[in-house]
Amino acid sequence: MASRSFDIILASASVRRAKILRQMGVRYEIAKNTVDERHTRHESPQDYVLRLAREKAQQGLSILGPDMPVLGADTIVNLDRKIFGKPKTLKEATTMLGELSGRKHYVYSAVAIANGAAIEQRLAVSEVTFRDLDYKERLDYCNTGEPYGKAGGYAIQGLGAIFVRHISGSYSGVVGLPIYQTYELLKIFHVPVWKNKEYCLLSRGS
């Protein structure tokens, strides 16, 4: 029987999460999810993001079968008990960044792995402080197109890094997949790291 070229299913179309898994040397296959991401009224940020990660992993498992572990993840931004999703319009993006301007907010990044009847999950919480942002700066940033599809309307690994005065917690969690917590789960489910030879060779040559 031919061996598989991957060791885990990533239930996400996120380029950022895929890149982090490659960075860890994990061999994966992508499966998109269709989980309803609506927030329920009395759900805390922690419960909300953990539920979404869990449901993504479970949905992938129900579709693909129990023979391969499935990883689900989700990331949200929270300020003053308000959850910031992904802006869809220029107005939403500039308003969102205006609310974050000069303030400290929290980024909750959850990861779950399901395999058979077993499921485990972890949560990383990070504090991110923005410097003051004027309207023109927010508008110019939004016109780059980067805020769209990003929780909170910014990408810390991209141009949005110039807004960040301070971060405490998991940088990779703010990007979209907390490496330490993900590795803990990979160990539990015996998913090997450093096996993605293509990425490891690129890292060695850099």
Could you give the dihedral angle defined by the CA atoms of residues 128, 138, 101 and 76, in that order, rounded to the nearest 10 degrees? Answer: -40
Phi, psi at residue 18, to the nearest 5°? -60, -40
Exactly one of 7, 47, 74, 134 is catalytic; name it: 74
SS3 55: helix
The structure tokens listed for 87 are: 């802006």
Burial of 109-140, coded b for 16+ CB within 10 Å and e otherwise, reads bbbbbbbeeebbbbbbbbebebeebeeebbee
Instruction: Report the alpha-carbon distance of residue 184 to residue 193 in Å, rounded.
Output: 11
For CA atoms 124, 130, 134, 136, the dihedral sign is negative
In the chain, the DSSP E strands lie at 8-10, 28-30, 70-79, 82-84, 104-115, 118-130, 164-168
Catalytic residue list contains 132: no
Active site residues: 74
